[in-house]
Amino acid sequence: MLRSFFIYLSKLRWLRDLILKLGFTRKASRRFVAGESAEEVIEVIRQLNGQNILATCDHLGEDVSTEADARDARDHYLQILDLIQKSGVKSHVSLKLTQFGLDVSGELCRELVSSVIEKAAQLGTFVRIDMEDSPHTERTLAVYRDMRKEYSNCGIVIQASLYRTADDIKGLVDDGIANVRLCKGAYQESSTIAFPHKADVDANMVKLMQYLITAPGAYLAMATHDEKMIDATKRWVAQYNLSKDSFEFQMLYGIRRDLQQQLAAEGYRMRVYVPYGTEWYPYYMRRLAERPANLWFVLSNFFKP
């Protein structure tokens, strides 16, 4: 119930505009958001790198409705790639296609995303395409497939919650383009297309992890804070004698820092998704949806001087 409510709120533009104006919410956003500027995110990534943790940074923004906004997003990503290079921090970038104009024009989106991937290729780095809600699934996969015709330095995100996912992953593996961040899925979806029960999502995630981690030519980024999923991955890796750096774990900035540090110390490749920017509202609401108890953190900030 609460999950659906927060996902519903995440889509309300008027509420977003209101919340972004309130000073205390900005302070509370720091729980999951590294800062507003590119310089701030580089500093956070430097600290993570100091703990042997890699990063992928995301300049927050989604659902843009004009070409100008989409072009701005592209320009920002080109700048952050330069900054990553100059600062020497170890970080990829992650982006959302609706921030790059997917809902404005598929052609525009392809043009802008390919210029970011092209630049990343020149700098020897990598671009991960996030997965958004189901009206975008097919189009996101199509853009990814097109990008892979030209570039190998990009990957996609796939959600274990969707029924279609096993087929999607098999298709990517068969085509030799399965560089996949596997996550549970952060959006509210109908039971006609997604598993309604968490236990089924979890079971699917384990099954897909087992398949992907040994599939020929595939690379798995296991994106979860769920200790059951992490333990299942570790067991599978040990059982098949796979090396600890043949895949990676990924977690979100600000969530289970203890576990992030523990996995890095155990020698696993650990990457943290570090969002930054002023457009944090929908991202933040999805984090509340995943764990409504996070709301207490927001409210406690309200009463702090």
220 close to 180: Cβ distance less than 8 angstroms: yes
Q: How far is the CB of 279 from ligand FDA (least distance, A)?
A: 16
- If one asks whether residue 273 binds ligand FDA (CB under 6 A), the answer comes out as yes
Of 42, 45, 53, 131, which lies in the binding site for ligand FDA, with binding defined by CB under 6 A?
131
- Neighbouring-strand partners of residue 127: 93, 154
* Sequence-ordered list of residues with C-beta below 8 angstroms from that of 112, at least 6 positions apart, any chain: 70, 71, 73, 74, 100, 101
Q: Catalytic annotation on 175?
A: no
- If one asks whether residue 298 binds ligand FDA (CB under 6 A), the answer comes out as no
Question: Of these residues, 58, 74, 103, 130, which one is catalytic?
Answer: 130
Task: Please give the torsion angle defined by the CA atoms of residues 177, 179, 184 and 187, in that order, rounded to the nearest 10 degrees.
Answer: -70
Of 219, 226, 244, 298, which lies in the binding site for ligand FDA, with binding defined by CB under 6 A?
226
Distance CA 33, CA 27 (A): 10
Of 147, 223, 237, 285, which lies in the binding site for ligand FDA, with binding defined by CB under 6 A?
223
57 close to 93: Cβ distance less than 8 angstroms: yes
Task: Give whichever of 16 and 184 is closer to ligand FDA, judged by the CB atom.
Answer: 184
Of 251, 263, 274, 285, which lies in the binding site for ligand FDA, with binding defined by CB under 6 A?
251
DSSP state of 97: G
Q: How far is the CB of 255 from ligand FDA (least distance, A)?
A: 5
In three-state form (DSSP H/G/I as H, E/B as E, the rest C), the secondary structure along 108-149 is: HHHHHHHHHHHHHHHCCCCEEECCCCHHHHHHHHHHHHHHHH
- If one asks whether residue 162 binds ligand FDA (CB under 6 A), the answer comes out as no
Of 5, 236, 290, 301, which lies in the binding site for ligand FDA, with binding defined by CB under 6 A?
290
- If one asks whether residue 159 binds ligand FDA (CB under 6 A), the answer comes out as yes
- If one asks whether residue 134 binds ligand FDA (CB under 6 A), the answer comes out as no
Task: Give whichever of 122 and 300 is closer to ligand FDA, judged by the CB atom.
Answer: 300
Q: How far is CA 251 from CA 76, 147, 270, 287, 300, in A?
A: 24, 25, 8, 12, 25
Of 62, 103, 130, 189, which lies in the binding site for ligand FDA, with binding defined by CB under 6 A?
130
Q: Catalytic annotation on 258?
A: no
Q: How far is the CB of 181 from ligand FDA (least distance, A)?
A: 6
**Considering only CA atoms, which of 168, 160, 267, 271 is closest in space to residue 209?**
160
Of 173, 210, 291, 298, which lies in the binding site for ligand FDA, with binding defined by CB under 6 A?
291
Of 224, 268, 269, 283, which lies in the binding site for ligand FDA, with binding defined by CB under 6 A?
224
CA angle 284, 112, 38 (to 5 degrees): 45
**Considering only CA atoms, which of 10, 249, 227 is closest in space to residue 132?**
10
- If one asks whether residue 187 binds ligand FDA (CB under 6 A), the answer comes out as yes
Task: Give whichever of 68 and 295 is closer to ligand FDA, judged by the CB atom.
Answer: 295
Q: How far is CA 137 from CA 129, 141, 147, 159, in A?
A: 11, 6, 15, 10
- If one asks whether residue 186 binds ligand FDA (CB under 6 A), the answer comes out as yes
Tell me the catalytic residues: 130, 181
Contact positions vs ligand FDA (CB under 6 A): 130-131, 157, 159, 181, 183-187, 223-226, 250-252, 255-256, 273, 287, 290-291, 294
